[in-house]
Amino acid sequence: MKDHVWNPWHGCIQWSRGCQNCYVYRRDASVGRDASQVRRTKAFAYPLEKDRSGAYKVLPGASVYCCMTSDFFLKEADPWREGAWDIIRIRSDVHFTIITKRITRFLQCIPGDWGVGWPNVRICCT
Protein backbone atom coordinates (compact mmCIF):
# COMPACT_ATOMS: atom_id res chain seq x y z
CA MET A 1 0.00 0.00 0.00
CA LYS A 2 1.29 3.43 -0.93
CA ASP A 3 2.21 5.95 1.78
CA HIS A 4 1.01 9.51 1.28
CA VAL A 5 2.18 12.92 2.47
CA TRP A 6 -0.44 15.53 3.29
CA ASN A 7 0.63 19.12 3.81
CA PRO A 8 -2.55 21.08 4.58
CA TRP A 9 -0.36 24.09 5.37
CA HIS A 10 3.23 24.97 4.55
CA GLY A 11 5.83 26.97 6.42
CA CYS A 12 6.93 26.99 10.00
CA ILE A 13 8.35 29.17 12.74
CA GLN A 14 11.56 27.72 14.11
CA TRP A 15 10.86 26.45 17.60
CA SER A 16 13.98 24.91 19.08
CA ARG A 17 17.66 24.21 18.45
CA GLY A 18 16.45 21.09 16.64
CA CYS A 19 15.07 23.41 13.95
CA GLN A 20 18.49 24.87 13.20
CA ASN A 21 19.09 22.63 10.15
CA CYS A 22 15.47 22.38 8.98
CA TYR A 23 15.14 20.84 5.52
CA VAL A 24 12.02 22.94 4.81
CA TYR A 25 13.96 26.16 5.35
CA ARG A 26 16.80 24.91 3.14
CA ARG A 27 14.48 23.74 0.37
CA ASP A 28 12.37 26.90 0.40
CA ALA A 29 15.47 29.11 0.36
CA SER A 30 16.75 27.22 -2.70
CA VAL A 31 13.64 28.33 -4.64
CA GLY A 32 13.48 31.83 -3.20
CA ARG A 33 10.63 31.18 -0.76
CA ASP A 34 10.50 32.25 2.90
CA ALA A 35 9.67 29.15 4.98
CA SER A 36 8.65 31.31 7.93
CA GLN A 37 5.57 32.45 5.99
CA VAL A 38 2.84 29.99 6.98
CA ARG A 39 0.04 29.47 4.47
CA ARG A 40 -2.78 27.04 3.86
CA THR A 41 -2.04 24.92 0.79
CA LYS A 42 -4.09 23.95 -2.25
CA ALA A 43 -3.73 20.36 -1.01
CA PHE A 44 -5.71 21.10 2.17
CA ALA A 45 -8.45 18.57 1.35
CA TYR A 46 -6.14 15.99 -0.29
CA PRO A 47 -7.36 12.98 1.79
CA LEU A 48 -10.89 13.67 0.54
CA GLU A 49 -10.01 13.88 -3.17
CA LYS A 50 -11.63 11.31 -5.42
CA ASP A 51 -10.73 9.91 -8.81
CA ARG A 52 -13.02 9.86 -11.86
CA SER A 53 -14.78 6.73 -10.65
CA GLY A 54 -15.63 8.38 -7.32
CA ALA A 55 -13.14 6.36 -5.26
CA TYR A 56 -10.83 8.09 -2.83
CA LYS A 57 -7.33 8.69 -4.21
CA VAL A 58 -5.99 7.81 -0.75
CA LEU A 59 -7.21 4.24 -0.43
CA PRO A 60 -8.65 2.84 2.80
CA GLY A 61 -5.87 1.40 4.96
CA ALA A 62 -3.24 3.75 3.54
CA SER A 63 -0.79 5.68 5.74
CA VAL A 64 -0.73 9.47 5.56
CA TYR A 65 2.09 11.53 7.04
CA CYS A 66 0.81 14.98 8.01
CA CYS A 67 2.54 18.34 7.83
CA MET A 68 5.94 17.27 6.59
CA THR A 69 6.61 20.89 5.58
CA SER A 70 5.22 22.43 8.76
CA ASP A 71 4.03 21.39 12.22
CA PHE A 72 0.44 20.28 12.81
CA PHE A 73 0.35 22.14 16.15
CA LEU A 74 1.87 25.37 14.87
CA LYS A 75 0.06 28.38 16.38
CA GLU A 76 -0.12 30.10 12.99
CA ALA A 77 -2.21 27.15 11.71
CA ASP A 78 -4.85 27.48 14.44
CA PRO A 79 -7.48 28.85 12.00
CA TRP A 80 -7.21 25.74 9.78
CA ARG A 81 -6.63 22.92 12.26
CA GLU A 82 -10.27 22.14 13.05
CA GLY A 83 -10.88 21.66 9.32
CA ALA A 84 -7.93 19.27 9.19
CA TRP A 85 -9.32 17.34 12.17
CA ASP A 86 -12.66 17.15 10.32
CA ILE A 87 -10.90 15.54 7.34
CA ILE A 88 -9.10 13.07 9.61
CA ARG A 89 -12.41 12.27 11.31
CA ILE A 90 -14.13 11.65 7.94
CA ARG A 91 -11.26 9.42 6.78
CA SER A 92 -11.28 7.11 9.80
CA ASP A 93 -10.34 4.34 7.32
CA VAL A 94 -6.88 5.89 6.83
CA HIS A 95 -3.92 5.89 9.28
CA PHE A 96 -2.60 9.41 9.95
CA THR A 97 0.80 10.07 11.51
CA ILE A 98 1.41 13.51 12.97
CA ILE A 99 5.00 14.31 13.92
CA THR A 100 5.46 17.44 16.04
CA LYS A 101 8.02 19.45 17.94
CA ARG A 102 5.15 21.32 19.63
CA ILE A 103 3.77 18.60 21.89
CA THR A 104 3.21 21.25 24.57
CA ARG A 105 0.32 22.56 22.41
CA PHE A 106 -1.25 19.13 21.95
CA LEU A 107 -3.99 19.33 24.61
CA GLN A 108 -5.15 22.78 23.52
CA CYS A 109 -5.28 21.71 19.85
CA ILE A 110 -7.14 18.40 19.94
CA PRO A 111 -10.81 18.23 18.95
CA GLY A 112 -13.54 17.99 21.58
CA ASP A 113 -14.34 14.37 20.68
CA TRP A 114 -10.73 13.18 20.98
CA GLY A 115 -11.36 11.24 24.20
CA VAL A 116 -8.36 8.95 24.72
CA GLY A 117 -7.40 9.36 21.06
CA TRP A 118 -8.60 8.22 17.69
CA PRO A 119 -7.52 4.76 16.53
CA ASN A 120 -6.49 6.08 13.10
CA VAL A 121 -4.13 8.79 14.45
CA ARG A 122 -0.60 8.37 15.78
CA ILE A 123 1.11 11.36 17.42
CA CYS A 124 4.92 11.40 17.49
CA CYS A 125 7.09 14.01 19.17
CA THR A 126 10.66 14.82 18.13
pLDDT of 25 above 80: no
Residue 96, by phi and psi: left (phi above 0), alpha (psi -120 to 50) or beta? beta
Measure the CA–CA gap between 51 and 32, rounded to whole angstroms. 33
Is pLDDT at 27 greater than 90 in this prediction?
no
State in Å, rounded, how far the first CA of the chain is from the last one. 26
Q: Is the pLDDT assigned to residue 26 strictly greater than 80? A: no
Give the residue-averaged pLDDT of 26-49: 88
pLDDT tens-digit readout, 72-101: 999 999 999 999 999 999 999 999 999 999
The model carries a pTM of 0.91
